[in-house]
Amino acid sequence: MLNVPNHVAIIMDGNGRWAKKRNMPRLEGHKKGAITARSIIKKSGSLGVRWLTLYAFSTENWARPDKEKKGLFSLMVKSLSEELPLLLKEGIRFRMIGDKKDLPEGLIKIISKAESLTKGNRDLNLSVCVNYSGKNEIVKAVNKMLNDQYHLEPGSKSSSQGEFTFPKIDDLDFKKNMHSSDLPEVDLLLRTGGEKRISNFLLWDIAYSELFFTETLWPEFSEDEFCDILSSFNLRDRRYGNV
């Protein structure tokens, strides 16, 4: 029996190259990628993974052509609407991590609907990172702490309380102020598509993750390869600095 990681995070990369190889528009790669996402979500649930976090759109992805972004957001609306019954049936709690502001209204609406309808689900916690930046998430947590505890607004020069002593903050306090505050540390971080980089994904929670990179492009990534990766994860010796 597979001893599955508690939290798997995936950088779903390679949709564009998959389409290009077939002389198809990039959006076709994203469409096929959405089908892969569905199968990996289902598989994760059936294997007993408790937390699955998927990277769908980074703040850097705003640099892409308008046509691709528009297509991607429409695809997200369509997929999320179609998959909502699956989320409910399989006991999957859905949430989005990232900045909702700047996303199209229709997308914000369906995200909020999926978040509230699945709030009570406990079998698999699915987080999808959209308009997400790991650096921004950390900086926002700092601003939140200053604002909540000292009523300091970004840009303000002095505190209404005058002199103050800055508290000692440990990493647990810090984490509480992050958007992803209730996500546990990532055990397994996987990137498809061959690139060996993090691209501003979950910087804080991947501090001690086991990293896996595969050349397979996301639209071609299979449940079998996913299971192989989970098996190799089991063989990793996680020493956490110990001997």
The contact set with ligand IPE (CB under 6 A) reads 11-17, 55-58, 60-61, 72, 193, 195, 197, 199
Kindly compute the dihedral angle of the four CA atoms of residues 69, 75, 76, 80, in this order, to the nearest 10 degrees: 170
Tokens representing 174 are 């810090």
Q: 128 with 94: CB under 8 angstroms? A: yes
- Could you confirm whether 237 is annotated as catalytic? no
What's the rounded Cα separation, in Å, for the pair 30 and 105? 21
Residue number with CB closer to ligand IPE (60 or 228):
60
Q: Which of 189, 133, 185 is nearest to 10 (CA)?
A: 189
198 Cβ partners below 8 Å, 6+ apart?
11, 134, 189, 206
Residue number with CB closer to Mg ion (114 or 130):
130
Residue number with CB closer to ligand IPE (94 or 201):
201
User: Which is the catalytic residue, given 13, 15, 187, 205?
Assistant: 13
- Could you confirm whether 61 is annotated as catalytic? yes
Instruction: Answer with the entry of ligand IPE, Mg ion, none that 212 interacts with (C-beta below 5 to 8 A by kind).
Output: none
What's the rounded Cα separation, in Å, for the pair 182 and 152? 25
Instruction: Answer with the entry of Mg ion, ligand IPE, none that 5 interacts with (C-beta below 5 to 8 A by kind).
Output: none
Give the contact letters, 173-212, x = binds to Mg ion (CB under 5 A), - = no: ----------------------------------------
Q: Which of 95, 84, 88 is nearest to 51 (CA)?
A: 95
Tokens representing 57 are 């759109």
Residue nearest to ligand IPE (CB): 16
What's the rounded Cα separation, in Å, for the pair 123 and 94? 11
Residue number with CB closer to ligand IPE (11 or 111):
11
User: Which is the catalytic residue, given 3, 6, 61, 66?
Assistant: 61
Residue number with CB closer to Mg ion (64 or 140):
64
13 binds Mg ion (CB under 5 A): yes
What's the rounded Cα separation, in Å, for the pair 106 and 49? 30
In the complex, what is the shortest distance from the CB of residue 186 to ligand IPE, in angstroms, rounded to a whole number? 15
In the complex, what is the shortest distance from the CB of residue 78 to ligand IPE, in angstroms, rounded to a whole number? 15
- Helix or strand run (H / E) with residue 210: strand 210-213
Among 6-14, 109-117, 142-150, 217-225, the segment contacting Mg ion (CB under 5 A): 6-14
In the complex, what is the shortest distance from the CB of residue 217 to Mg ion, in angstroms, rounded to a whole number? 9
- Helix or strand run (H / E) with residue 110: helix 105-117
Residues of this chain that interact with Mg ion (CB under 5 A) are 13
Residues with a known catalytic role: 13, 61
